[in-house]
Chain A
Amino acid sequence: MDRRDFVRLLAAVPFVPTLKGASAAPAGLPKLKVVTRYAPSATPGIPGPFPGRVIAVRSDKSVDVETSAANDEVVREMMARGMCALTGEKTPLEAWRQFVQPSDVVGIKVNCGGHPWCVSAYEIVAEIVRQLGAAGVPPTQVFVYERFQNQLDEVNYAPHLPEGVTIVAAETANRRADNRGYDPATYVEADLFGEEDTRSNMMRLVSQKLTKIINVPNMKDHGATGATGCLKNIAYGSFSNVARTHYRGKSHTYSFVGTLASVEPLRSRTVLQIMDGLRGVWHGGPFARTRKYVFYPKQILFGTDPVAIDRLLLDIIDDERKRHGAISIYDRSPQYLKMDDGAARDADPNVNIIIREPGHVEFAAGLGLGVADKARIKVQDVVV
């Protein structure tokens, strides 16, 4: 399939409103032009060997809700049980060897946007690095990455990781003055709101250095997408100039998130999804500057299919919002919309600043990135 075919395919993907509570499809999907010189691998990492399969490992002992501290020992056990359940292997080592080889250069895509209350947990990231080492991938071949260095600095993974691991970002901060970390030849081009810079470029680290990527998102609400999970973390966390997709109440995330996640080589190299649900954010996401909207799902989800995991995430966030009497993430009513009023949104969970697009998960399924139909998603529960 060449680039032109891909553009045509995007234009042809229909919206099928089968999600619960889904309302009208966003009118006039933008034309998205994908430019990449990379071909997909024989078996792209997304949706990988386990489409539609999710392992949900829960433990009441995983987080102390008073202090918000995670229990390292319990998290390690959850990780081991989850990886073994996903792969059917008897030991974590055998499980990890299904995804990485000693020659791999492995990226761990963390999420730091929810600092200080909800970021990719130190315990999970450290355990991934430990297991990579056991599988023969030395720390010098491991890169923990984000888009913005100032966010990584705030979270500060270094004390939790062995020497040799590189902690790296594409930009110093979110101020659009630093583009050298992005690949000028790999991008998605779209004119969404008449913005002058119409390109979102893939990180050079992803296109030119890494051979495998492990995605470690959180369970968070998101004002533009409904929820931010696997798809958005890997997509918006690996490309430049993405905040332009939502503006003045309107969100183009519906088609943009999945399209970014589908761009090679990101799609082929992202081989494992480990969703950190020890803590979560049910409103005001992706940020968590206060504990006001933080909750504790106390679980970790494992899979290779980001769509299936994100489909479950939509329910988790929406259910938590219901528990608090807040409007659904599917709500598109103008009465709850206060454009650009972040203060009102932070104060009141019944305020949207943008019409959310949870349908981005189903759109991604239409691109072949996984299974969004809940009837076809097989969840295996594991309790630690």
Chain B
Amino acid sequence: MTALLWLAALPCLYWTQGVETAPALKKAAIERLCVAPDQAAAWSKAGFTPVSVSDTDLALRETVAAPGIRARADRASATRSPWVFTNGSRFLRDPAGKYVYDLPAGKAALAAAEAYAYGADAVLKIEAADLESLGPMLAFLAALPKSDLPDVSDVAVVDDGSATMGEALTLLVRRNLLFRTVPAPSAQYRVNVKLGTPEFPADAAADPSAFALKVRRQLTDEQRSLRIFGTEVVIGRLLGDGSRMRLHLLNYGGRETEGVRVRLRGSHPEGEANVAGQGKVPLEDLGLVDGATEFTVRRLGPYGVVDLPAVK
């Protein structure tokens, strides 16, 4: 992938303010931005890399939700997992899609990381106050080592394209159940899901949470390629080719989490993390247990990525 293409793969800030705001963008270390076509020349002259996005282009993009969490009002006790808003399943369902985030304050950095982690073509409409957090995140993403590894998937899902299935896929993402949408069941996956079969009747996805739990129980926790402990608001996207692995970690909780414990199937005796706001950090308490690799990421803000090289 060329540097230009790589840059193009990063989420793009959509900026409607005039070129007189250039100092604020430069202060945030933002160099590339999506602007109206008639503004592109001025931004280019100001030293930026503008990408022309017309109103029509913007309207054709699918609007996705602001990522984050919301406490579950219907559940009062201390064990309740918060509701995680993630767009991961939408990106996985339509990887060629074009998306736009329309974000409230405080969400820009996480949204940028989410789009990057899923390789989504996304533009970000943000609150100006978020430049301060978005700039460093975009710089961090741009500096990450390139990777073209494919998804690791434990579950194959025959996607009927329905909204119900969309909700069910969202729950799979939220539960860190790694899936791939396929045209037909395949023996290469540990679990195949096709609605309308004896194992998954037509209404099996009507309750997305129960659906995800059923998939999980069929797969079993021991056979899952990815487990995350110590938090229920961190979602992983695992890529790998059987030897090298890359794990994107997205923290939707809105605050730093300390001690995120990860279990990956397979043996990976070494690796390192790149964490936004911290740079390269060693994996802590790394060990091989029962055919799996476990390690701890000491502190995780909105995003980090873990690279595990091939075993020598």
Chain A positions near chain B (C-beta within 8 angstroms)? 174, 176-182, 184-185, 191, 193-199, 201, 240-241, 243-248, 340-342, 353
Contacts and interface: CB of A to CB of B under 8 A. Distances in A.
Nearest to B212: A194
B258 A180 contact: yes
B21 interface: no
A287 to B, nearest CB: 12
Contact of A176 (B216, B228, B232): B232
B231 A179 contact: yes
Contacts of A176: 230-232
Interface string B170-181: 000001100000
19 contacts: A176-B230, A177-B231, A177-B256, A177-B257, A177-B258, A179-B231, A180-B298, A184-B285, A184-B296, A195-B79, A196-B175, A196-B176, A199-B229, A199-B261, A245-B79, A248-B77, A340-B76, A341-B76, A342-B76
Given A177-B255, A179-B229, A180-B296, 12 more contacts: A176-B230, A176-B231, A179-B259, A184-B261, A197-B231, A197-B232, A199-B261, A201-B230, A243-B78, A243-B79, A246-B79, A247-B79
B62 interface: no
Instruction: Kindly name the residue among A174, A177, A247 whose own CB sees the greatest number of chain B CB atoms within 10 A.
Output: A177
Nearest to B261: A184
B259 A178 contact: yes
Contacts of A174: 78
A194 B294 CA distance: 21
A181 B221 CA distance: 25
Contact of B79 (A185, A244, A341): A244
Nearest to A193: B79
B146 interface: no
A180 B259 contact: yes
B77 A340 contact: yes
B258 A178 contact: yes
Contact of B221 (A179, A191, A244, A247): A191
Given A180-B259, A182-B259, A240-B230, A198 B221 contact: yes
A341 B74 CA distance: 11
B253 interface: yes
Contacts of B260: 179
A184 B284 CA distance: 10
Instruction: Sort A-B residue pairs by CB-CB distance and give the 7 closest, nearest first.
Output: A179-B259, A179-B230, A243-B78, A180-B259, A244-B79, A340-B76, A194-B213
Nearest to A200: B229
B75 interface: yes
B223 interface: no
B81 interface: yes
A239 to B, nearest CB: 13
B81 A196 contact: yes
Contacts of A241: 230
Interface string B202-240: 000000010001001000010000001111100000000
B76 A179 contact: no
B119 interface: no
A91 to B, nearest CB: 44
B287 interface: yes
A178 B257 CA distance: 6
Contacts of B77: 243, 246-248, 340, 353
Contacts of A196: 81, 175-176, 228, 232
Nearest to B257: A177
Nearest to A196: B232
Nearest to A354: B77
A150 to B, nearest CB: 14
Interface string B236-277: 000000000000000001011111110000000000000000
B78 A177 contact: no
Nearest to A241: B230
Nearest to B82: A176
Nearest to B296: A184
B293 to A, nearest CB: 13
A178 B256 CA distance: 9
A143 B246 CA distance: 41
Contacts of B298: 180
B78 A185 contact: no
